[in-house]
Amino acid sequence: MNNYPGIFAAPDCKKFAQKICQRLKAPLGKIKFELFSDGERWCKYEENIRGRHVFLISSSTNPLETWFDLWIMIDAARRASADEITAVVPYYRFSRQERKDESRVPITASMVADITEFLKADRILTMDLHADATQGSTLIPFDHLYGSDTLIKAAFKQEPTLAQKKSKITAIAGDPGALKFVRPIAERHDWNFAFVDKKRAGHEKLAKEEILPIFSDVPIKDSTCLILDDIASTFGSLEKVSYSLARAEAKKIFALVTHPVFAGPALDRLTASKIEKIWVGDTIPLSAEIISHPKIKVVSMAPIFAKAIKKIFLKESVTSLFPDKK
């Protein structure tokens, strides 16, 4: 039995995995991927993993590649007699499809969990699920990490406005669906809290500059607003929320997002928005255009994943990483 975990990464996730390995002072496992001319994918472990606990990391900008790379890694690991297999999915793709909200649609978040369980993974490790209920879609253990504290610490360190003790900080939920995500953070930090009422017309419909109603116990005027969300896809919602806060005369507008998908017109909308800075995680590979954007500050989530992997490997409590979580 090795005294360090076997950490292996899908092609798009190597940089993130290397950061984890650096924190753990463990080598990145050797695995070879090939893409055949007809589009088929193939992998092979280039070292012995018999009897080992392996952590397989997959997080891609392509949702299908994220899961298929993970699944063939799991299958190969099981056939190579790995003792335990932990599927590490920093951004749980399809997590927004966690319920049947209309007729004749799939529950894809549950489907990908079912397949992962069927392939005999022993555990799933992820961060900031869009819906906590996703954890109930499989019988295998589901360790759920939280990225908000890491983003908050970075934001307060890098932005003097937030660090000022007299700053009136109001945590903003961009829509009623984000209430469960944002309210506990506001309570934990003793911040004011507000949410914006938004009715989504269709899936990711293009945003227009419109003012949305804000529900808050305190005036938004002259406050420092911190919009928090788990996912930013096309940035339509965050753009609308920023316009609404600016119209309400917020003093400063910042944002924190764990998973910066930033698809389609997202970067143009961020540029046009009233958000001054946005801190984002690196749970998916980020393009040079995203990293170099003047409003974007990237914060690595690798350290917290490294801590969680170490605790799982040593069979310790992952919950202990979050003393405020019950």
The alpha carbon of residue 172 and the mean position of all alpha carbons in its chain are separated, in whole angstroms, by: 18
The span from the CA of 314 to the CA of 265, in Å, is 44
What are the CA-CA distances from residue 5 to residues 1, 26, 28, 54, 123 (Å)? 10, 8, 10, 6, 14
Beta sheet of 192-196, edge-to-edge order: 214-216, 192-196, 169-173, 224-232, 252-260, 277-281, 296-299
Q: Reply yes or no on whether 240 is catalytic.
A: no
Distance CA 175, CA 200 (A): 9
CA distance 108 to 175: 22
Q: How far apart are CA 52 and CA 159, in angstroms?
A: 43
Options 14, 120, 166, 198, the catalytic residue: 198
Can you tell me the distance from the alpha carbon of 115 to that of 107, in angstroms, rounded to the nearest whole number? 13
The residue to which tokens 């980020």 are assigned:
286
CB 67 within 8 A of CB 110: no
Task: Write out the catalytic residue numbers.
Answer: 198
